[in-house]
Amino acid sequence: MIQHPNQKTIKKEASFAGIGLHTGNSSSLKFIPAPVNTGVIFIRKDLPGKPNIPATIDHVVGVVRGTTLGINGAQIHTVEHICSALLGLGIDNLLIEVDANEPPVADGSAKPFVEVLLSSGLLEQDQPKKILELIEPVIYKANETEIRIEPARNFSIHCQLIFNHPLIGKQEKFFQIDTETYIREIAPARTFCFDYEVEALKRKGLARGGSLDNAVVVGLDRIYNKEKKLRFEDEFVRHKILDFMGDFFLLGKTVLGKIDAIKVGHGHNINFVKELTKVGELAHGK
Protein backbone atom coordinates (compact mmCIF):
# COMPACT_ATOMS: atom_id res chain seq x y z
CA MET A 1 0.00 0.00 0.00
CA ILE A 2 1.44 3.33 -1.06
CA GLN A 3 1.61 5.95 1.68
CA HIS A 4 -0.15 9.00 0.23
CA PRO A 5 1.20 12.41 1.11
CA ASN A 6 -0.73 14.64 3.44
CA GLN A 7 -2.88 17.65 2.56
CA LYS A 8 -1.27 21.08 2.67
CA THR A 9 -2.24 24.66 3.34
CA ILE A 10 -0.13 27.76 4.06
CA LYS A 11 1.23 28.88 7.42
CA LYS A 12 -0.05 32.44 7.50
CA GLU A 13 -2.03 34.94 5.45
CA ALA A 14 -0.39 36.56 2.43
CA SER A 15 -1.59 39.34 0.13
CA PHE A 16 -1.11 40.28 -3.49
CA ALA A 17 -2.35 43.20 -5.62
CA GLY A 18 -2.34 44.28 -9.27
CA ILE A 19 -4.66 44.48 -12.28
CA GLY A 20 -6.72 41.77 -13.97
CA LEU A 21 -5.59 40.62 -17.43
CA HIS A 22 -8.95 40.68 -19.20
CA THR A 23 -11.01 43.15 -17.18
CA GLY A 24 -8.17 45.59 -16.45
CA ASN A 25 -9.76 46.11 -13.02
CA SER A 26 -7.42 46.67 -10.14
CA SER A 27 -7.64 43.79 -7.77
CA SER A 28 -6.13 42.54 -4.59
CA LEU A 29 -6.26 39.13 -3.04
CA LYS A 30 -5.49 37.52 0.23
CA PHE A 31 -4.45 33.88 0.67
CA ILE A 32 -5.77 32.50 3.97
CA PRO A 33 -4.89 29.12 5.52
CA ALA A 34 -7.81 26.63 5.64
CA PRO A 35 -8.50 23.40 7.57
CA VAL A 36 -8.27 19.92 6.04
CA ASN A 37 -10.87 18.97 3.43
CA THR A 38 -11.83 22.60 2.77
CA GLY A 39 -10.46 22.60 -0.76
CA VAL A 40 -9.78 25.94 -2.40
CA ILE A 41 -12.48 28.60 -2.23
CA PHE A 42 -12.51 32.04 -3.85
CA ILE A 43 -14.41 34.59 -1.78
CA ARG A 44 -15.75 37.65 -3.63
CA LYS A 45 -15.61 39.98 -0.65
CA ASP A 46 -16.69 42.95 -2.80
CA LEU A 47 -20.15 41.42 -3.40
CA PRO A 48 -23.14 41.36 -1.01
CA GLY A 49 -23.07 38.20 1.09
CA LYS A 50 -19.43 37.57 0.07
CA PRO A 51 -20.21 34.58 -2.15
CA ASN A 52 -17.90 31.59 -1.83
CA ILE A 53 -16.90 30.09 -5.17
CA PRO A 54 -15.25 26.67 -4.85
CA ALA A 55 -12.37 26.03 -7.24
CA THR A 56 -13.85 22.80 -8.56
CA ILE A 57 -14.70 21.50 -12.00
CA ASP A 58 -18.46 21.76 -11.39
CA HIS A 59 -18.15 25.52 -10.85
CA VAL A 60 -16.56 26.25 -14.22
CA VAL A 61 -18.82 28.69 -16.08
CA GLY A 62 -16.53 29.98 -18.83
CA VAL A 63 -13.47 28.94 -20.84
CA VAL A 64 -12.86 31.82 -23.27
CA ARG A 65 -9.21 32.91 -23.03
CA GLY A 66 -9.11 31.82 -19.42
CA THR A 67 -11.09 29.73 -16.96
CA THR A 68 -13.99 31.37 -15.12
CA LEU A 69 -15.59 29.97 -11.98
CA GLY A 70 -19.03 30.98 -10.74
CA ILE A 71 -21.87 30.35 -8.37
CA ASN A 72 -25.36 31.92 -8.49
CA GLY A 73 -24.19 34.63 -10.87
CA ALA A 74 -21.08 35.58 -8.87
CA GLN A 75 -17.96 34.96 -10.94
CA ILE A 76 -14.21 34.99 -10.77
CA HIS A 77 -12.34 35.07 -14.08
CA THR A 78 -8.89 33.85 -15.12
CA VAL A 79 -8.17 31.61 -12.13
CA GLU A 80 -5.83 29.24 -13.95
CA HIS A 81 -2.45 30.73 -13.03
CA ILE A 82 -3.25 30.74 -9.31
CA CYS A 83 -4.69 27.22 -9.52
CA SER A 84 -1.60 26.09 -11.40
CA ALA A 85 0.63 27.45 -8.62
CA LEU A 86 -1.50 25.55 -6.08
CA LEU A 87 -1.12 22.27 -7.97
CA GLY A 88 2.59 22.89 -8.46
CA LEU A 89 3.10 23.49 -4.75
CA GLY A 90 0.72 20.73 -3.67
CA ILE A 91 -1.62 23.07 -1.76
CA ASP A 92 -5.04 21.52 -1.12
CA ASN A 93 -6.78 23.85 1.31
CA LEU A 94 -6.91 27.61 0.97
CA LEU A 95 -9.31 30.54 1.10
CA ILE A 96 -8.62 33.23 -1.50
CA GLU A 97 -10.33 36.53 -0.79
CA VAL A 98 -10.64 38.77 -3.85
CA ASP A 99 -12.12 42.25 -4.16
CA ALA A 100 -12.79 42.13 -7.92
CA ASN A 101 -14.00 39.67 -10.56
CA GLU A 102 -10.49 38.72 -11.64
CA PRO A 103 -7.27 38.13 -9.69
CA PRO A 104 -4.23 40.24 -10.54
CA VAL A 105 -2.42 39.02 -13.65
CA ALA A 106 1.00 39.83 -12.17
CA ASP A 107 3.62 39.19 -14.86
CA GLY A 108 1.42 36.76 -16.82
CA SER A 109 3.00 33.70 -15.24
CA ALA A 110 2.46 31.77 -11.99
CA LYS A 111 5.81 32.78 -10.52
CA PRO A 112 4.63 35.75 -8.42
CA PHE A 113 1.89 33.57 -6.84
CA VAL A 114 4.40 30.83 -6.14
CA GLU A 115 6.69 33.34 -4.46
CA VAL A 116 4.01 34.84 -2.23
CA LEU A 117 2.71 31.40 -1.22
CA LEU A 118 6.23 30.16 -0.47
CA SER A 119 6.97 33.29 1.54
CA SER A 120 3.96 32.47 3.69
CA GLY A 121 5.30 28.93 4.15
CA LEU A 122 3.62 25.61 3.39
CA LEU A 123 2.00 23.66 6.19
CA GLU A 124 1.52 19.91 6.07
CA GLN A 125 -1.81 18.89 7.62
CA ASP A 126 -2.75 15.69 9.39
CA GLN A 127 -4.88 13.99 6.75
CA PRO A 128 -3.87 12.34 3.48
CA LYS A 129 -4.63 14.00 0.16
CA LYS A 130 -7.69 12.88 -1.77
CA ILE A 131 -6.51 10.53 -4.48
CA LEU A 132 -8.13 9.50 -7.73
CA GLU A 133 -6.77 6.09 -8.61
CA LEU A 134 -6.72 5.42 -12.31
CA ILE A 135 -7.33 1.89 -13.39
CA GLU A 136 -7.10 2.45 -17.11
CA PRO A 137 -6.24 5.27 -19.53
CA VAL A 138 -8.71 8.09 -20.06
CA ILE A 139 -8.69 9.65 -23.51
CA TYR A 140 -10.33 12.84 -24.70
CA LYS A 141 -10.36 13.74 -28.40
CA ALA A 142 -11.85 16.65 -30.31
CA ASN A 143 -10.71 17.55 -33.81
CA GLU A 144 -6.90 17.92 -33.62
CA THR A 145 -6.81 17.95 -29.83
CA GLU A 146 -6.02 14.84 -27.87
CA ILE A 147 -5.48 14.56 -24.14
CA ARG A 148 -4.84 11.22 -22.49
CA ILE A 149 -3.76 10.03 -19.10
CA GLU A 150 -2.40 6.61 -18.27
CA PRO A 151 -1.89 5.19 -14.80
CA ALA A 152 1.70 5.71 -13.62
CA ARG A 153 3.78 5.83 -10.45
CA ASN A 154 4.26 9.58 -10.66
CA PHE A 155 2.77 12.66 -12.30
CA SER A 156 4.14 13.69 -15.68
CA ILE A 157 3.00 15.83 -18.57
CA HIS A 158 4.05 15.71 -22.18
CA CYS A 159 2.59 18.62 -24.12
CA GLN A 160 2.76 19.55 -27.76
CA LEU A 161 1.62 22.73 -29.41
CA ILE A 162 1.60 23.62 -33.04
CA PHE A 163 1.20 27.19 -34.31
CA ASN A 164 1.73 27.97 -37.92
CA HIS A 165 4.02 30.83 -37.00
CA PRO A 166 7.76 31.29 -37.67
CA LEU A 167 8.61 32.09 -34.03
CA ILE A 168 6.66 29.19 -32.55
CA GLY A 169 6.01 26.35 -34.96
CA LYS A 170 5.90 23.01 -33.17
CA GLN A 171 7.03 22.89 -29.54
CA GLU A 172 7.09 19.83 -27.37
CA LYS A 173 7.99 19.38 -23.74
CA PHE A 174 7.98 16.62 -21.16
CA PHE A 175 8.23 17.11 -17.42
CA GLN A 176 8.04 14.70 -14.58
CA ILE A 177 6.44 17.10 -12.20
CA ASP A 178 7.53 17.71 -8.64
CA THR A 179 7.56 20.97 -6.71
CA GLU A 180 11.12 21.94 -7.59
CA THR A 181 10.61 21.24 -11.30
CA TYR A 182 7.39 23.22 -11.28
CA ILE A 183 8.96 26.23 -9.60
CA ARG A 184 12.00 26.28 -11.85
CA GLU A 185 10.72 25.15 -15.25
CA ILE A 186 6.99 25.87 -15.46
CA ALA A 187 5.86 28.67 -13.11
CA PRO A 188 7.91 31.45 -14.81
CA ALA A 189 6.44 30.82 -18.31
CA ARG A 190 4.24 33.76 -19.30
CA THR A 191 0.98 33.92 -21.18
CA PHE A 192 1.22 34.96 -24.81
CA CYS A 193 -0.80 36.36 -27.65
CA PHE A 194 -0.20 37.56 -31.18
CA ASP A 195 0.00 41.22 -32.10
CA TYR A 196 -2.81 40.94 -34.67
CA GLU A 197 -5.12 39.57 -31.96
CA VAL A 198 -4.69 42.39 -29.50
CA GLU A 199 -7.20 44.83 -31.01
CA ALA A 200 -9.79 42.11 -31.60
CA LEU A 201 -9.43 40.87 -28.02
CA LYS A 202 -9.88 44.37 -26.67
CA ARG A 203 -12.99 44.89 -28.82
CA LYS A 204 -14.44 41.73 -27.28
CA GLY A 205 -13.76 43.21 -23.85
CA LEU A 206 -10.82 40.86 -23.23
CA ALA A 207 -7.17 41.61 -22.46
CA ARG A 208 -8.09 45.11 -21.20
CA GLY A 209 -5.39 44.84 -18.57
CA GLY A 210 -2.98 43.19 -21.00
CA SER A 211 0.34 44.91 -21.63
CA LEU A 212 3.94 44.13 -22.40
CA ASP A 213 4.45 43.79 -18.65
CA ASN A 214 2.20 40.77 -18.33
CA ALA A 215 2.07 38.92 -21.63
CA VAL A 216 4.48 37.92 -24.33
CA VAL A 217 3.21 39.66 -27.46
CA VAL A 218 4.39 37.87 -30.56
CA GLY A 219 4.72 39.59 -33.91
CA LEU A 220 5.54 37.92 -37.21
CA ASP A 221 9.28 38.32 -36.72
CA ARG A 222 9.72 39.67 -33.20
CA ILE A 223 8.87 39.52 -29.55
CA TYR A 224 7.61 42.96 -28.55
CA ASN A 225 8.35 42.80 -24.82
CA LYS A 226 10.79 45.15 -23.21
CA GLU A 227 13.43 42.55 -22.65
CA LYS A 228 12.86 41.46 -26.31
CA LYS A 229 13.37 37.90 -25.37
CA LEU A 230 11.69 34.89 -23.92
CA ARG A 231 12.36 33.41 -20.50
CA PHE A 232 12.74 30.00 -22.13
CA GLU A 233 13.25 29.22 -25.77
CA ASP A 234 10.08 27.14 -25.57
CA GLU A 235 8.18 29.41 -23.17
CA PHE A 236 4.94 28.95 -25.14
CA VAL A 237 4.59 25.21 -24.61
CA ARG A 238 5.67 25.62 -20.98
CA HIS A 239 2.85 28.13 -20.48
CA LYS A 240 0.43 25.63 -22.04
CA ILE A 241 1.55 23.14 -19.38
CA LEU A 242 1.13 25.81 -16.70
CA ASP A 243 -2.43 26.52 -17.89
CA PHE A 244 -3.22 22.84 -18.21
CA MET A 245 -2.14 22.28 -14.61
CA GLY A 246 -4.38 25.14 -13.48
CA ASP A 247 -7.40 23.51 -15.10
CA PHE A 248 -6.36 20.06 -13.91
CA PHE A 249 -6.27 21.35 -10.33
CA LEU A 250 -10.07 21.79 -10.51
CA LEU A 251 -10.39 17.99 -10.36
CA GLY A 252 -9.86 18.46 -6.63
CA LYS A 253 -7.87 15.25 -6.30
CA THR A 254 -4.32 14.10 -6.66
CA VAL A 255 -3.75 11.75 -9.58
CA LEU A 256 -0.71 9.75 -10.44
CA GLY A 257 -0.54 9.42 -14.18
CA LYS A 258 1.27 10.12 -17.39
CA ILE A 259 -0.46 12.84 -19.37
CA ASP A 260 -0.09 13.41 -23.09
CA ALA A 261 -1.66 16.63 -24.29
CA ILE A 262 -1.73 17.79 -27.89
CA LYS A 263 -3.12 21.19 -28.94
CA VAL A 264 -4.76 21.98 -25.62
CA GLY A 265 -6.77 24.97 -24.48
CA HIS A 266 -9.04 25.77 -21.54
CA GLY A 267 -12.21 24.35 -23.13
CA HIS A 268 -10.52 21.05 -23.95
CA ASN A 269 -8.75 20.89 -20.60
CA ILE A 270 -12.03 21.32 -18.75
CA ASN A 271 -13.78 18.68 -20.89
CA PHE A 272 -10.93 16.28 -20.19
CA VAL A 273 -11.11 16.88 -16.44
CA LYS A 274 -14.87 16.22 -16.59
CA GLU A 275 -14.17 12.85 -18.26
CA LEU A 276 -11.72 12.09 -15.51
CA THR A 277 -14.32 12.90 -12.86
CA LYS A 278 -16.68 10.31 -14.32
CA VAL A 279 -13.99 7.64 -14.29
CA GLY A 280 -13.16 8.46 -10.70
CA GLU A 281 -16.78 8.04 -9.71
CA LEU A 282 -16.93 4.68 -11.47
CA ALA A 283 -13.71 3.45 -9.90
CA HIS A 284 -14.87 4.36 -6.43
CA GLY A 285 -18.43 3.16 -6.98
CA LYS A 286 -17.39 -0.49 -7.42
Which residues are near Zn ion by CB under 5 A? Answer: 191, 243
| Catalytic-role residue among 22, 59, 77, 266 | 266
Residue 191 or 214 with smaller CB distance to Zn ion: 191
Residue 32 or 207 with smaller CB distance to Zn ion: 207
* 266 catalytically annotated: yes
| Closest by CA position to 40, among listed 91, 116, 106 | 91
The one-letter code for the residue type at 163 is: F
Residue 92 or 243 with smaller CB distance to Zn ion: 243
Residue 151 or 267 with smaller CB distance to Zn ion: 267
CB of 136 to Zn ion, least distance (A): 30
Backbone angles phi, psi at 156, to 5 degrees: -135, 155
CB of 81 to Zn ion, least distance (A): 6
The one-letter code for the residue type at 6 is: N
CB of 108 to Zn ion, least distance (A): 7
CB of 21 to Zn ion, least distance (A): 9
Give the residue numbers marked as catalytic. 266
